[in-house]
Amino acid sequence: MLRAGGAAASTALLLPLVSAGPSATAGQRLTDGALQRDFAAAATRYRVPQSVLLGVSYLQSRWDTHGGAASVTGGYGPMHLTDAGTALADAPHHSHGSEDPRGDEARKAWKPASAEPPRTGGLPARLQTLEQAAELSGYSAAQLRENPAANVRGGAALLADAQRKLGMPLSQDPADWYGAVARFSGADDRATATAYAKDVFDVIRTGQSRTTDSGQQVALAAAPGVSPDPAQVARLGLRTADPGRSECPRSVACEWVPAPYEEFGDGDYGNHDLADRPASQSVKYIVIHDTEGSWDTTLKLVQDPAYVSWQYTLRSSDGHVAQHVPLKDVAWHAGNWYVNATSVGLEHEGFLASPDAWYTEAMYRSSARLVRYLAQRFGIPLDRQHILGHDTVPGTTAATIRGMHTDPGPFWDWAHYFRLLGRPFTATAGPRSGVVTIRPDYASNQPLYTGCAQAGQACAPHGSGAVRLHIAPSEDAPLVKDIGLRPGGEDSTKDVNDTGARATTGQRYAVAGRQGDWTAIWYLGQQAWFHNPRRQPVAVGARGPLLTPKPGAAEIPVYGRAYPEAAAYPADVPVQAISPLPYRLLAGQRYVVGGRVPGEYLYAKTFDVTGHRVVRGKEAYYEIQFGHRVAFVKAADVRLVR
């Protein structure tokens, strides 16, 4: 099983599209203002409205160049021109962890049967746009991959070609380009192409301005009066995706690609459980994963009854969504049965250990719209203790901690994602408050990571939403220890998959001390220090409920799931052990509360659902931000403090 991947289960199951190493142009910076001028020159050369060119590029890359490295779908440069065949040639494989995706000790450990990834045929056209751009622009493939100015011109040439093929004039009115923009998405279905074009024109109407990863200030002035005709998409001749039983907001292009619920001998079945949520159990969490595999491979795997499952997969190139498991049913995706039974899993096409294998703005936006819909439908708070990364799902017992997955990892941009969710991480208290929200500047925060391509080898420098935690207020001090990951007491490392000394954007912690430009938080039962200079803080003041051990208790246990007490189980349901994790929450320490939850267990180990039970007890728990992962403590063991 891959700790780094949400969907893939063994090294052989991966078919990544990108290289983790820095490209030949990594580290090069454009002359100030050059990229804005490149957009203007390309718009003039190919008679494309500059706002259209900027809007398309923003949805693909937010105008970043990524040092010439490829995206998760083999796209290069600000225009995301795709050359997946080249990106595939140097693709590394990653294999970390041994997580059981079901995470239910009432059943034997689930070992997906697939040994080799289903091989797909030739690459689809959406993954080969760079070759077409080369023919239209006269630039070589290498220039289009490595030179931002050439890349922008190649994208403009593609847009102009699409406009001509639609029989539309090379007009300077952006509204006339709706169909060409939809074609640029590469989507093969009408709904996705329409959703993509709508997003581009939303950017054009509202405007954008930002400093890119190459230090360029790029701006797109708002044009609120632009009103294109979406009917232009009908001329593209695209298929109509079957929405089937999919459950998505209207703002997301969604199709139904069902995961099979099939029995295949020895009393076993796959690859999910039928349920009746939220009538049977409430849905409390949304779990963000990355696939560690290509879109086509991932979809073939989820349709294998001997594999695992999740509710949704999102495609990076255009934000297209496929749903596999109804929301009422329980998918096997998080490695913790308590979380599986109360969550929805979203897989995003991507690779944790490839820092420049960037996710497109199209996928971030599509994912955010889907999460907002799910959060509203189930009453899920939009915070980091309910919108979980797979890397923040706790192990179920001491034995499972080391095998838990670590996706989507330190390169997922949580700050940008929550801005799209409409819940940006802002200061809600003063700088000397007793609670902090981790919030480094993603672009400039570039801690050293290792192990992206080879163990111990430095990863390419890249923005990150995570900060490192030390045992003392000094960069020279060792990183804090995680006795769950390393029972022998070894120090945590800088490996990209090591979550033992990491706090990530949006997570809230109780302050344990301050010294100069350093702040300490309570973390895994210990003080953990991070550099937090006043002029460039990586955390902001926050408010929130805290808890601490009840009076008289020197320490209390911490759990990876909130199971009911033994007396709550009926005679026909085996009692599940309430197994504490190896950590302890000590007297005087404080942790931020995520919410109060009942002790609850879904007994569902048979294909015949008549034997399924939801067991609820009198024991209640609080979810807390304990380390990088969340955890649970019994309500009877603690008291709440302000």
DSSP code at position 318: T
Residue 99: pLDDT band by 50, 70, 90 thresholds?
A: confident
Do residue 566 and residue 456 come from a single domain? no
Give the whole-angstrom CA distance, residue 519 versus residue 91.
39
| Total structural domains within the chain | 3
Q: 102 versus 121: which is more confidently predicted?
A: 102
Residue 500: closest CA among 519, 476, 481: 481
Whether 230 is covered by a domain: the verdict is: yes
Do residue 97 and residue 38 come from a single domain? yes
Which of 308-311's residues contact partners 24+ apart within 8 Å by CB, and which partners? Answer: 308/7, 308/9, 308/101, 308/102, 308/110, 308/112, 308/270, 308/271, 308/332, 308/333, 309/259, 309/270, 309/271, 309/272, 309/333, 310/6, 310/7, 310/345, 310/346, 310/347, 311/344, 311/345, 311/346
Do residue 83 and residue 157 come from a single domain? yes
Residue 96 CB contacts under 8 Å (≥ 6 apart), including other chains: 2, 3, 4, 405, 406, 497
Whether 261 is covered by a domain: the verdict is: no
Do residue 560 and residue 513 come from a single domain? no
- Stretch 464-473: mean pLDDT: 97
Assess whether pLDDT exceeds 50 at residue 24: no
DSSP 408-450: S-TTS-HHHHHHHTT------S-TT-SEEEE---TTT-----B
pLDDT of residue 30: 64
**Domain span holding position 476:** 427-544
Do residue 70 and residue 216 come from a single domain? yes
Task: Average the pLDDT over each of 198-207, 345-354, 472-481 and give the range with the smallest value.
Answer: 345-354
Do residue 498 and residue 552 come from a single domain? no
Whether 518 is covered by a domain: the verdict is: yes
Task: Average the pLDDT over each of 84-88, 465-469, 523-527, 630-634 and give the range with the smallest value.
Answer: 84-88
Task: Average the pLDDT over each of 15-19, 211-215, 588-592 and give the range with the smallest value.
Answer: 15-19
Assess whether pLDDT exceeds 60 at residue 115: no
Mean pLDDT score across all residues of the chain = 90
- Stretch 427-435: mean pLDDT: 95
Whether 517 is covered by a domain: the verdict is: yes
Task: Average the pLDDT over each of 143-157, 283-297, 496-510, 542-556 and give the range with the smallest value.
Answer: 283-297
Query: pTM, whole model, 2 decimals?
Result: 0.93
pLDDT of residue 92: 43
Do residue 526 and residue 634 come from a single domain? no
Question: Over the stretch 569-580, which tens digit does the pLDDT of each residue have?
Answer: 999 999 999 999
Domain end, chosen from 236, 252, 274, is at 236
Do residue 58 and residue 202 come from a single domain? yes
Whether 489 is covered by a domain: the verdict is: yes
Q: 22 versus 44: which is more confidently predicted?
A: 44
Residue 360: pLDDT band by 50, 70, 90 thresholds?
A: confident
Whether 187 is covered by a domain: the verdict is: yes
Which residue is it, tokens 């020279």?
476
Structure tokens at 225: 């009066």
Domain end, chosen from 492, 516, 544, is at 544
Whether 499 is covered by a domain: the verdict is: yes
Do residues 640 and 624 lie in contact, with contact meaning Cβ atoms separated by under 8 Å? no
Structure tokens at 514: 């301050």
* Three-state SS at 610: helix
Do residue 434 and residue 575 come from a single domain? no
262 has which bridge partners?
270
Amino acid identity for residue 107 in this structure = R
Do residue 515 and residue 573 come from a single domain? no
Residue 88: pLDDT band by 50, 70, 90 thresholds?
A: low
Share of the chain above pLDDT 90, in %: 80
Do residue 535 and residue 584 come from a single domain? no
Residue 619 CB contacts under 8 Å (≥ 6 apart), including other chains: 564, 565, 568, 598, 599, 634, 635, 636
Domain end, chosen from 514, 544, 574, is at 544
pLDDT of residue 226: 97
Whether 182 is covered by a domain: the verdict is: yes
Give the whole-angstrom CA distance, residue 483 versus residue 497.
16
Which residue is it, tokens 């998959």?
497
Question: Over the stretch 333-343, which tens digit does the pLDDT of each residue have?
Answer: 999 999 999 99
Q: Of 8-17, 115-124, 219-228, where does the model show the most confidence?
A: 219-228
Assess whether pLDDT exceeds 50 at residue 353: yes
Question: Over the stretch 539-550, which tens digit does the pLDDT of each residue have?
Answer: 999 999 999 999
Residue 305 parent element (H or E): none
Assess whether pLDDT exceeds 70 at residue 114: no
Residue 605 CB contacts under 8 Å (≥ 6 apart), including other chains: 104, 106, 107, 611
pLDDT of residue 121: 54
Residue 507: closest CA among 637, 380, 414, 379: 414
Assess whether pLDDT exceeds 70 at residue 406: yes
Do residue 82 and residue 165 come from a single domain? yes
